[in-house]
Amino acid sequence: MVLNNHSGNGILASSVNCGVIEYCEAFNNGWDMPWTGNGPVGIWIWDCTDFIVQHCISHHNRTNPEAADGGGFDLDGGVSNSVIQYCISHNNEGAGFGLYEFGAAKPWENNTIRYNISQDDGIINGGSIGIWKNDNQGMMRNCQVYNNTFYNSNPGGSNIWIYDNYPGYCFRNNVFVYNGSMLSEGNSLDNELFQGNLYWNLAGGISFLGYGTLRDWAMATDKEMHDGTFIGIYQDPMWNQAGSMNVTDPAKISQESIGGYVPLSGSPMVDRGLNLKTLFNLNVGERDLLGTSIPLNNNYEIGALELDY
């Protein structure tokens, strides 16, 4: 038994160039960890470059109640030019998607999180996505987070837990559905870029991060703006049975098993996503989480799934 470090990880890769983890399931890892410091994660990598994690499900992973982590997926110390895509994280005690830098010799940089779903993650630590770097150690910069669906109905459930502010973090075309506040208590944003995202508070009300409305926040912070125009959306995403997803087998990811997150006709997510290729020269791929070709009708959706008419 490991008593002086974290234990109970699911799948871990380190010091790999051009690796792939795909079609894997990780669950209930970390349930008996005695360590009370850092904790395990379902699927994660560190000191890797040009690595892809895709078509995986990580769910119900755990940690010591007094420890950190316990999340679904993690790009950790020294990871660069790597992608987590087409994955599902749900009901983990830690963040669904962790972006962490413990102080590796190589810089953490130029990574991408896209076309994923997080449902009710962060039961103990973090929220849908967690961002952390060890103080004064390592380098952390540049991450594209786009077309993800982040849903957190846990009591006080947030979408973003961020320890500090790091350069080059861009959030676009994501859905942030939270229960109380999109940002974890005590956290603050600085130079992170938010454009074309949809937000909705399950607890009700229209205030946003200390401002009267999302628009007020945008005008005061220059977030959710493009060429002087307000482009954020605060509106019910119009799903059918969001929060009910319980798929655990990657082979069973289908319209039926994750259909609760497919936008309904008339949803504010439909055809309102930014064209990230044209506007920001991003290679966004050719399909969504279900393999549907994108864009349909020449317009992108917000979130991880297209409405397949």
What is the end-to-end Cα distance of the chain in Å, rounded?
A: 53
Chain segment 184-211, per-residue pLDDT in tens: 999 999 999 999 999 999 999 999 999 9
Extract the tokens encoding 84.
């987590």
Where is 22: in which H helix or E strand? strand 20-22
- Residue 295 belongs to a domain: no
Is pTM beyond 0.85? Reply is yes
Positions of E strands within 23-139 = 25-27, 41-46, 52-54, 57-59, 71-75, 83-85, 88-90, 97-101, 108-114, 117-119, 129-133
Reported as half-sphere exposure (CB side, CA atoms, 13 A), residue 294 has a value of 26
- Structural domain contains residue 286: no
Residue 304 lies in a domain: no
Determine the average pLDDT of the residues in 165-191.
97
**The residue to which tokens 């995202």 are assigned:** 197
Would the pLDDT of 36 be above 60? yes
> At residue 256, what are phi and psi to the nearest 5 degrees?
-75, -45
DSSP H/E element including 177:
strand 175-178
Does residue 303 belong to any structural domain of this protein?
Answer: no
Does residue 2 have a pLDDT over 90? no
**Residue 308 pLDDT > 80:** no
Q: How many domains does the chain have?
A: 1
Give the domain extent around 49: 11-280
**Cα dihedral value 169, 170, 175, 181, nearest 10:** 50
CA pair distance 34, 272, nearest whole angstrom: 47
Instruction: Flag whether 3 is in a domain.
Output: no
pLDDT at residue 309 tops 60: no
pLDDT surpasses 90 at 167: yes
Identify which of 177, 180, 173 has the alpha carbon closest to the alpha carbon of residue 200: 177
Does 27 map to a domain? yes
**Does any domain span residue 223?**
yes
> In the structure, what pLDDT confidence band is assigned to residue 183 with cuts at 50, 70 and 90?
very high
Q: CA-to-CA distance for 214 and 45, rounded, in angstroms? A: 35
pLDDT tens-digit readout, 101-155: 999 999 999 999 999 999 999 999 999 999 999 999 999 999 999 999 999 999 9
Which residues contact residue 227 at a Cβ distance below 8 angstroms, ignoring those fewer than 6 apart?
Answer: none
Could you read off the pLDDT of 3-33 as tens digits, one per residue? 788 999 999 999 999 999 999 999 999 999 9
